[in-house]
Amino acid sequence: MITLLGAFILLIIGYFVYSKVVEKVFGIDDSKKTPAYTEQDGMDYVPLSSWKGSLIQLINIAGTGPIFGALMGALYGPVAFIWIVVGSIFAGAVHDYFSGMLSVKHKGEQFPSIVGRYLGNGVKAFVNVLSIVLMILVAAAFTASPAQLISSISPISFTMALLLVFCYFILVAVLPINKIIAKIYPLLGVILIFMAAAIAVALMFDGKAIPNITLENLHPGELPIWPLLMVTITCGAISGFHATQSPIVAKTLQKESDGRKVFYGAMIGEGAIALIWAAAGMTFFGGTAGLQDALALGGPAGVVNDISTSLLGTMGGVLAIICVILLPVTTGDTALRSSRMLLSDMLSRFLKFEGKAKIFLVTGIVSVPTFLLATIDYSFLWRYVGWTNQLSATIMLWTATVFLLNHRKFHWICGLPAIFMTGVAGTYIFYAPEGFQLSYGISLVIGTIITIIVIIWYIRKIIQAHKLKNTPTIKAA
């Protein structure tokens, strides 16, 4: 109990204190018109209030991520609390703030274009492909999971449920942001927050002891904490998927000072939700072994239903269904919308026409592989989301680091978490089942070597910045 309350307090302090540090380092100017006004098109660039933008951002980046991921991460024990809190404050929220505000700074540019400005066109080309693959994987995974649940609780077949969900995805991808997203998502954001808060209150009065902090690895399968925990809990700590979603809301910001509430604040909110569900997973089933058994029996969706129904009764059951059906849908549809924007930017030199014809054409191109992937095993898809997700986060942090170096600003706020995430991504891919499947020891050595090489590059950039301190900018790598 004390650990959970302390974790909440730290997240609150992180928002009210560290977010202001991050905002000051970035440098905002409310006298400048945002892209919502300078590029206003009635489709993607539409001014929205900060409260609405915050709730849309929360739903875009969250979905079931901070619930399912936190439950899987809870298998490691209370050490997951540390990663959620530290990751959210110093890595995830910083990542989200810079991915959103750099998009605002550059007229609502997408993630790959921002990367290209600061890390060069070679990295941009790689990130273009990586981002579209990630978006398609996420959209496919979040088409399949709600379709599976719909077919299990109704007479609708899986194929028909898949088609219904996917038709909705396409509708959201091609309609103006203020038609569906701006109207429905704030309400879903409130539901997500209410559900988490209700679970937290019920958990505290349930009589079961919420585990206190320990660094001990309690995973029943004896899987290593590093780097698996950091890839298991992504949306509740740091997620590269957010870098592809933040530009959606960046196109709607009314003023630059809204960025702290919308981007940094939404990530802190997501961290709080992850904390609640990690604590619920560890507590409700009497420890990590019980949680593992429950996950094996009913999967994350079944665990959410068990916890919600037992703690909140009938209302909990209804909220659980909303959670595991509607929330994945809200992530999948914006993932498809993002992939439409990304591919549209990539093909801009070939597709000289604009307007609805281009929107429908590009949406159709990304829809075909998304739908086909949605028909295969959901767990298989999700394994490949994890690493591409954290690699994207690493690249975004390095992009922000170079931006700060270029502008003679305190680059360490992005550089240090970028180094950490380099180690995570560099180690995980060599150890993971979906990667090279090398031994843990060899994977650690390779990951360390990769991290050292990147640190050397970083030091060279710092030295270059000091040598060129009298020049207005530093040429991007």
pLDDT in tens, 225-245: 999 999 999 989 999 989 989
**41 has a pLDDT exceeding 70:** yes
Q: Which residues of 49-74 are buried (b: 16+ CB within 10 A; e: fewer)?
A: ebebbbbbbbbbbbbbbbbbbbbbbb
Taking Cα atoms as reference points, which of 113, 110, 129 lies closest to residue 121?
Answer: 113
* pLDDT score for 476: 46
**254 has a pLDDT exceeding 70:** yes
Q: Which residues of 136-159 are buried (b: 16+ CB within 10 A; e: fewer)?
A: bbbbbbbbbbbbbbbbeeeeeeee
Highest mean pLDDT among 186-190, 193-197, 287-291: 287-291
Domains for the chain: give ranges and CATH numbers.
2-18+32-381 (1.20.1740.10)
Q: What number is the average pLDDT over the span 332-355?
A: 74
Cβ 391 vs Cβ 130: under 8 Å: yes
Q: What number is the average pLDDT over the span 91-115?
A: 96
The pLDDT confidence band at residue 152, using thresholds 50, 70 and 90, is: confident
**417 has a pLDDT exceeding 70:** yes
Q: What number is the average pLDDT over the span 282-306?
A: 89
Instruction: Name the pTM for this structure.
Output: 0.90
The pLDDT confidence band at residue 345, using thresholds 50, 70 and 90, is: confident
* pLDDT score for 352: 59
**220 has a pLDDT exceeding 90:** yes
Q: What number is the average pLDDT over the span 336-355?
A: 73
* pLDDT score for 383: 66
* pLDDT score for 298: 81
- How far apart are alpha carbons 135 and 338 in whole angstroms? 7
Q: What number is the average pLDDT over the span 44-69?
A: 89
* pLDDT score for 379: 59
The pLDDT confidence band at residue 477, using thresholds 50, 70 and 90, is: very low
The pLDDT confidence band at residue 472, using thresholds 50, 70 and 90, is: low
29: tokens are 């100017």
**335 has a pLDDT exceeding 50:** yes
* pLDDT score for 354: 63
Q: What number is the average pLDDT over the span 29-51?
A: 94
Reported as half-sphere exposure (CB side, CA atoms, 13 A), residue 122 has a value of 2
Number of H helices, E strands in the chain: 20, 0
- How far apart are alpha carbons 139 and 436 in whole angstroms? 25
CA 425 from chain center: how many Å?
A: 15
What one-character DSSP code corresponds to residue 369? H
